[in-house]
Structure 1
Amino acid sequence: MTDTALLLERYRPYRPWVEVGFWVLLVTVHAVANSITVNMDIRRVALDIPAWRPVVWEFSSNAVILLLLPALVLFTRRFPVGLASWRRYLPLYLVASVVWSVLHVVGMVGVRKLAYSAYGSVYDFGSWPQELFYEYLKDVRSFASMVAVIQIYRFVLLRLQGEASLLQEPDVGPPVESIDRPDRFLVRKLGKEFLVAANDIEWIQASGNYVNLHVRGRDYPLRSTIGGIEARLDPQRFARVHRSYIVHLDQVSMIEPLDTGDARLHLKNGTALPCSRRYRTGLRERVGAPVTG
């Protein structure tokens, strides 16, 4: 295992904590720093504004941003921006920035009104059309910055872990193997290319405009829908078990029925995957795996 692969393996269990922690720390530092600087400016010009108000202003704004971040992450995953797609998605992102700003303003105003009432005061946002426009001019920059950070982070991870693609028709001569139903996938990683056998894929999970190919503990994103990749896989070896999952039939060791009528699949490598009730009976007949419960 290379140093990069080893590093990624060690990072994998901590990845959710690192990602959440990064944003929490960033937003908190931003709120604290702004609270201090605003209070310093107020004292400098001798304004009669209590010190708690700038703290409420900054923390209400940043707290709402933190609450909206999961939606932004999902949005960027569903509509990933790249060199080939940014023109197509730009209008969508502009609309999303407006929605983001409106939700941010409404949320922070609500929090501020509650905080002010706790201090026996009343918060006045001012003229909504004028203030919304003012806040949008600030929010659109924050929105773009956060999108850029998310996309750059994903780009780095993809370059480190590898990104899969389907084999293409050769420029000259017929293809050496089926393009419609490939036996191998091309993986690009750190400037190098290698092939992954389709039979080595243990399971596949949908992720927005991508599907993740899980191969021996590695995840290789492939730009495709779950339905698109299902149509190109050998149905004798692969089966759809959920709207978001495809499994290699040879990897299924046990099917665990659930009270809901769905099932849980236990793979030979210890992974557990969901199985919808519509696929459960047919899957059991195909794999002949033992059933519990």
Structure 2
Amino acid sequence: MASTDSVPTTDPSPSTAPAPVGPPFLQRWRRFIEIGFWIGLTLVNGIANSITVLMDIRRVGLGFAAWQPAVWEWSSGLTILALVPALVWFTRRCPLHWDTLARSLPMHLLGSVVFSLVHVIGMVALREAAYAAQGLDYDFGSWPRELVYEYLKDVRGYVMIVSVIEGYRFVLRRLQGEASLLGRPDEGEPVEPLDRPERFLVRKLGRDFLIAAEDIEWLQAAGNYVNLRVRGHDYPLRSTLASVEARLDPERFVRIHRSHIVNLGRVASIEPLDSGDARLHLHDGVVLPCSRTYRERLRARFGAG
């Protein structure tokens, strides 16, 4: 019995990659939907928290103006919203997976501390500006005590945001398909060389597909993954870029950047830059970076000297 990583494709056309998930509308507006989610979440939390805090103040008869709870909540919410892109970037650089958890957790613990510090500084700055506009002074209190208090709250918010980001990526990988290298069968010899694969296995929604290596347009490193670009769609492969590069055909694929490999057959032109770097224009209009380290090597491959 062959292992699941070496069985023939269930799709009748081995070189045909599975189609992108969802209607074109969702593909086209995905980025706006993602940004809208965080903005909407901030709006809902800001409004709800401002109202409930104001109700608590009125209930116990504290002498705060109605605008003050709104300033407290919105200064916090807007600062956290501004930090979301940084957390998205950080979780790409340091993703949470079971096999790398021992290395990732200390980094995320440090990340939560930085997150809380930036949150508090930004929040206090906004509050001071709002109070100054009303001719008042804002008193944050004892910084050491308040920083500990805020961190105990912020670490829960950090965990929630990171969990949402990682959970969303997990669902996307399952929907769009996740690539893997073909494994050695349990019995017999593999049908193709494992050190120079001609095809990659893509698992999507419980089905297996094979994509031909020659159909890969370019590859990009993304944290613990390498995204394989095939016909305008990305398939994440759990590997390092150097490891994948070593197993690709060097006559077809070439490294152009520390985070990019390109299929030479897809390159339409090379645009040199004054910095010594270059831009690669592909036949489908995609533009990829080419660092000076790899530029001359690439020019030589095209016979440009």
TM-score by length of 2: 0.88
Q: Distance in 2 between matches of 1:93 and 1:229?
A: 27
Partner of 2:57: 42
Q: Deviations over 1:140-198 (max 9, x none)?
A: 11111111111111111111110111122333344332222211111111111121111
Q: Distance in 2 between matches of 1:18 and 1:67?
A: 17
Q: CA RMSD for the aligned pairs? A: 2.2
Partner of 1:125: 140
Identity %: 61
Unmatched tracts of structure 2, length 5 or more = 1-15
Counterpart secondary structure, 2:22:
helix
Q: 2:193 aligns with which of 178, 181, 205?
A: 178
Counterpart secondary structure, 2:61:
coil
Q: 1:19 aligns with which of 34, 56, 73?
A: 34
Amino acid at match of 1:19: E
In the alignment of these two chains, the number of paired residues is 289
Q: Deviations over 1:234-269 (max 9, x none)?
A: 111101112221110111121222333322212122
Counterpart secondary structure, 1:193:
strand
Q: Is 2:255 aligned against 1:255?
A: no
Q: Distance in 2 between matches of 1:236 and 1:280?
A: 16
Q: 2:91 aligns with which of 76, 88, 109?
A: 76
Moved more, 7-16 or 102-111: 7-16
Partner of 1:196: 211
Partner of 2:260: 245
Amino acid at match of 2:34: E
Q: 2:46 aligns with which of 7, 23, 31?
A: 31
Q: Distance in 1 between matches of 2:264 and 2:163?
A: 39
Q: Distance in 2 between matches of 1:276 and 1:91?
A: 32
Q: Decide whether the 8 Å contact of 1:4 with 1:160 is kept in 2.
A: no
Q: 1:114 aligns with which of 119, 123, 129?
A: 129
Q: Is 2:108 aligned against 1:93?
A: yes
Q: Distance in 2 between matches of 1:245 and 1:60?
A: 39
Greater length-normalized contact order (CA 8 Å, ≥ 6 residues apart): 2
Q: Distance in 2 between matches of 1:259 and 1:2?
A: 38
Moved more, 146-155 or 98-107: 98-107
Amino acid at match of 2:190: P
Q: How far did residue 22 of structure 1 move?
A: 0.9
Partner of 2:5: none
Q: Distance in 2 between matches of 1:223 and 1:10?
A: 28
Partner of 1:228: 243
Amino acid at match of 1:94: L
Partner of 1:157: 172
Amino acid at match of 1:185: F
Q: Distance in 2 between matches of 1:193 and 1:3?
A: 9
Q: How far did residue 51 of structure 1 move?
A: 1.3
Partner of 1:279: 294
Q: Decide whether the 8 Å contact of 1:250 with 1:287 is kept in 2.
A: no
TM-score by length of 1: 0.91
Partner of 1:210: 225
